[in-house]
Amino acid sequence: MKEWIISANAEMYDHTSSFEHFGYIDWRQGLTKFEIGDIIYIYSTRPTSAIQYKCIIEKINLSKHNIRDDKNYWKNFEEYQKSINGTFMRLRLMDQISNEKLKLENLKLNGLKAAPQGPVKIKPELSIYINKNFTDNEQIEYFPDLLNEEHIEYEGLKKQITVNKYERSSIARKKCIDFHGLNCFVCDINFLETYGEIGKDFIHVHHVIPISQIGIEYKVDYKNDLIPVCPNCHSMLHRKFNGKEPSVFELKKMIKQ
């Protein structure tokens, strides 16, 4: 098994939604001698400039007749047309994160020579660093151990609220905050302003559309579907009132009253 880094441009293709909906992407294989079972880390180019996805090669040497049509995920139709020629490999998603330690400047300090253009075979020093830091463990702090009468279990932790994969995803969280900022959308609290340095970058992310209403065709809209909320407001948004969970605007109205 070998490990590789390949690059991806999110301005051209919506990798996050494509992986969310299907769990894999059929990727142009090129001339590199990839093998089934190789690990592929996907480096997102500017402005992200970081490794964000970890995949395993499931199939190789696929023709355009043996791949799924992902036209809906391309943001430029001309680029889509270019993409359907050649041979392909199937990249099965293993994990995806947004971690500052995997940004380009840190990767260069640990064995990566420059921002990857074509495929880069990962050397041992860099492999150790990437594997050590390819983790979302720090996201646990955003969902502390809150108890209620139902004692809902979520990945080994007892939760007052059940958070979905979009709310827990560090990539989704980063894109939401990049657009909306760090103030609670409901009560407007900013943890840095209120608590000082200990509150820096702290906020939950709430998914506006109930997951039960989301189908396979759903594509994550980080500007409209995800909003930053404080833990108190997040809990209230997931608590039923008169038989249903309140909307963001209903909860805002409750606070004002």
Burial track 125-135 (b if 16+ CB lie within 10 A, e otherwise):
ebbebbeebbe
Q: What is the pLDDT of residue 159?
A: 39
211 pLDDT higher than 70? no
Q: What is the pLDDT of residue 222?
A: 80
Whole-prediction pTM value? 0.73
Per-residue pLDDT averaged across 48-70, rounded?
A: 96
155 pLDDT higher than 60? no
Q: What is the pLDDT of residue 215?
A: 63
| Summary mean pLDDT of the chain | 86
How many CB atoms lie under 10 A from the CB of residue 159? 20
150 pLDDT higher than 60? no
**Higher model confidence: residue 89 or residue 235?**
89
Domains in the chain: ranges and CATH: 3-133 (3.10.590.10), 139-256 (no CATH)
The one-letter amino acid code at 180 reads: H
Where would I find the beta strands (DSSP E) of the chain?
Answer: 3-8, 24-28, 39-44, 50-62, 88-96, 120-121, 152-154, 157-159, 204-207, 226-229
pLDDT (tens digit per residue) in 162-197: 566 777 778 888 889 999 999 999 999 999 999 999
**Higher model confidence: residue 91 or residue 17?**
91
List, as one string, the DSSP characters of 36-99: TT-EEEEEETTTT-EEEEEEEEEEEEE-GGGS---GGGBS-HHHHHHHTSS-EEEEEEEEE---
Q: What is the pLDDT of residue 142?
A: 52
Q: What is the pLDDT of residue 29?
A: 95
Identify the CA nearest to 89 among candidates 72, 67, 70.
67
Per-residue pLDDT averaged across 209-225, rounded?
A: 72
Per-residue pLDDT averaged across 91-102, rounded?
A: 92
161 pLDDT higher than 80? no
User: What dihedral angle (degrees, nearest 10) is formed by the CA atoms of 183, 197, 47, 15?
Assistant: -60
Separation of CA 11 from chain center: 15
Span of 112-126, 142-156, 209-223 with lowest mean pLDDT: 142-156
Choose from 123-132, 154-163, 229-238 the range with maximum mean pLDDT.
123-132
**Higher model confidence: residue 138 or residue 181?**
181
How sure is the predictor about 212, in pLDDT bands with cuts at 50, 70 and 90? Answer: low
Q: What is the pLDDT of residue 105?
A: 97
Q: What is the pLDDT of residue 146?
A: 38
Contact call for residues 58 and 35 (beta carbons, < 8 A): no
Percentage, residues of the chain above pLDDT 70: 84
**Higher model confidence: residue 152 or residue 169?**
169
149 pLDDT higher than 80? no
Cα-based angle 197, 201, 207 (whole degrees, multiple of 5): 150
